[in-house]
Chains A and B, each alone.
Chain A
Amino acid sequence: MSGKLADLTPEMIAAERERFPRVFSMTMKARATHFVLWVGTPCLVLYCLDRFGFFSEKFWGSFGRLGIMFSQMFPPTGWEYMDEYTYAIGETLSMAFIGSLVGGIIALPFAFMASKNMMPVRPVQFSFRRFADVLRASDYLIWGLIFVRAMGLGPIPGIMAIIVIDTGILITLYSEAIENIDRKPIDGIKASGGGRLEVIRFGVIPQVLPVLLSNALYMFESNTRAATILGIVGAGGIGFLLSDNIRAFEFSNACTIIIMIIIVVYGIDYLSKRLRERFIYGDRVSQGHDRPMERVMAKMKD
């Protein structure tokens, strides 16, 4: 029995195949799953494409109009309305800022109620989690629409919509951060006679604060994106001007606004990245430290 590959005879290979079938080929079940996926998905895609008319003359004929529209977009115009646009951009940023701040603060007490290690009564903890899920299940625009209907047009309903969604998402993210803390500092404070509030202040907050702050900052980025579109339902910000201009076929003005949106979103992303590096993680910025961040990023709506 030497280990050389050349010494293997077909009989030996056959014997091994008999013994370890799964090393040599996929099981029938895996094959069936692959078949269903690789045949079923394209069929479903083709069905959808056909159903929505992607194979029709009308669809392919529309690309001419698309080209005309894009050619009308450039060069961007509307510089004479720049005051109006900057004002609306400022409104967008204000909405995102206030909404993120208030949402980030409101979510904090709820997050403690929604984390397993801080809230021993399981039904209460569970219902707080589900409450957060309900808040974030509808889109920004849906909440914006409801608030606009109830409170009237303007940035305040937009801020309310941002607060609601921000709170919903942050309750979940915060409580996950709280659940992942180290128990030892808490035990230490309890052992030296600390009460419930002292446990939270000195045992929990120092551990979770960097994670909480960076989650809140990520939400600020996400909220800025949302605040640019909330105006479509009348909830303040640049979205109203954008949809108005597009509906009036003023594509070149719309292009200016879109460029402004891109710049603002980039600016906020950059600012939040710098803030995170400088103030939250300080000089502890390292590869390993970004781990909680990746978890957050994966949860974020971009």
Chain B
Amino acid sequence: MNSEAATQTQQLDIADHFELARSEYLGRKRLYMVFFWIGFAISLALAVWHSGFSIAAVVDGLPRTSEFIVRMYSALTIENFYADLIDWFWGFEDWLASLFVSLLMAFLATIIGTTFGGILSFYASRNLAKNYAIYFVTRRTLEIARTVPDIVWALIFIYPFGVGPVAGILALTIHTTGAQGKLFAEVNENIDHKPIDGIRSVGGNWFEEIRFAVVPQVMPNFISYTFWRLALNVQAATVMGFVGAGGIGYELINAVKLLYFLDTGAILLMIICTVFAIDMASEKLRHYIIGKETLVG
């Protein structure tokens, strides 16, 4: 009898505790939400004030932008379609050559950057690096290579290497190294450790561990990321010319600056088609290589 009552009060206590903790938790959550929305409102107000953003300016600017875009694509008439097309793409061969340079830049940067990034990623993964100092230095180096935008690297390299694709390739390579190194390191950190133990138990050194225990596990992901990076680099290589670092971007920025609307439209069309094609091809290859279910993304 007595013990039953004791159990009941104990149960009540537990229920009370639960209710108390829950209301505390909800109250805390509500407080965080209030803080969040106040912070959000203040940042929005600051941002609008600081950038001078206004709906009026946008409404004013949109018709001009759409006129710009319409004028870019007003070369063709139905009566005289073929001749108009020829006329519109008057510089097709030159543009194609620049576009090809952009593609080669992206290809080269992807291959070299992925190679460097792949090698460095083994030093930049917490579970594989031999000691913390190596890990730390490699990680920070890769992060700096990745955080500085590729076009800024291009601006930097134009001074020593001169105007041309070399600066663009180096810029893309450095950025690719950083980005791939970081992504690959994350892949490396998620591997199964049993094969490493196996190699170590039969007397393998660090390189043999990497080569025979890690690389076979991470290779499909590495390849998948490489194709994806190639698509991104093609897109980035199309604007390298904006700062004089080679490729089709130079033709584009000149056409825009001189207000050659039709040329701008034609070059832009070529860029968009190329980026599309590479994007789709890279997606197809990724699916082909590692299968749809295991694909990240």
* One of B61, B159, B162, B235 near A160 (C-beta < 8 A): B61
List of A residues within 8 angstroms of B136 by Cβ: none
Range of interface residues on chain B? 35 or more
- The residues in B between 11 and 40 inclusive whose CB is less than 8 angstroms from any CB of A are 29, 32-33, 36
Say whether A4 faces chain B, with CB atoms less than 8 Å apart: no
Interchain CB contact under 8 A, B238 and A139: yes
The answer on a CB contact under 8 Å between B276 and A66 is: no
Other-chain contact of A262, B108, B148, B160 (Cβ < 8 Å) = B148
Q: Which of A97, A137, A139, A156 has a CB less than 8 Å from the CB of B52? A: A156
Q: How far is the CB of B151 from chain A (nearest CB, A)?
A: 5
Is B147 a contact partner of A137 (Cβ separation < 8 A)?
no
- Please measure, in the bound complex, the distance between the C-alpha atom of A97 and the C-alpha atom of B50, giving whole angstroms: 11
Complex partner residue of B147 from A62, A146, A157, A266, CB under 8 angstroms = A266
Task: Determine if A242 and B47 form an interchain contact, defined as CB atoms under 8 angstroms apart.
Answer: no
Interface stretch of the complex, out of B121-129, B202-210, B212-220, B251-259 = B251-259
B289 to chain A, nearest CB (A): 12
Determine the interface band of chain A, counting residues with CB < 8 A from chain B. Answer: 35 or more
Q: Is A179 an interface residue (CB 8 A)?
A: no
Complex Cα distance, B31 from A29, in Å, reads 64
Complex Cα distance A160/B68, Å? 15
Given contacts A62-B160, A146-B69, A229-B149, contact A295 B50 (CB under 8 A): no
Classify the interface of chain B: helix, strand, loop or mixed: helix
Q: Which residue of B lies closest to A246 (CB)?
A: B155
- List residues of chain B with CB within 8 A of the CB of A146: 65, 68-69, 256, 264
**A109 contacts B by Cβ under 8 Å:** no
In the complex, what distance in Å separates the CA atom of A2 from the CA atom of B257? Answer: 81
B152 interfacial contact with A, CB 8 Å: yes
14 A-B contacts (beta carbon < 8 Å): A52-B165, A94-B48, A98-B44, A134-B272, A138-B272, A139-B236, A142-B238, A145-B253, A149-B257, A243-B155, A243-B243, A258-B148, A298-B297, A301-B232
A interface residues with partner B (beta carbon < 8 Å): 41, 44-45, 48-49, 51-54, 58-59, 62-63, 65-66, 68-69, 90-91, 93-95, 97-98, 101, 133-134, 137-139, 141-142, 145-147, 149-151, 154-157, 159-160, 225, 228-229, 232-233, 236, 242-243, 246-247, 249, 251, 254, 258, 261-262, 265-266, 275, 278-279, 282, 294-299, 301-302
Given pairs A52-B165, A98-B44, 19 additional interface contacts (CB within 8 A): A44-B107, A48-B104, A48-B107, A66-B161, A97-B47, A137-B275, A139-B236, A141-B242, A142-B252, A150-B64, A156-B61, A232-B151, A246-B156, A246-B159, A261-B147, A261-B149, A295-B296, A296-B297, A301-B235
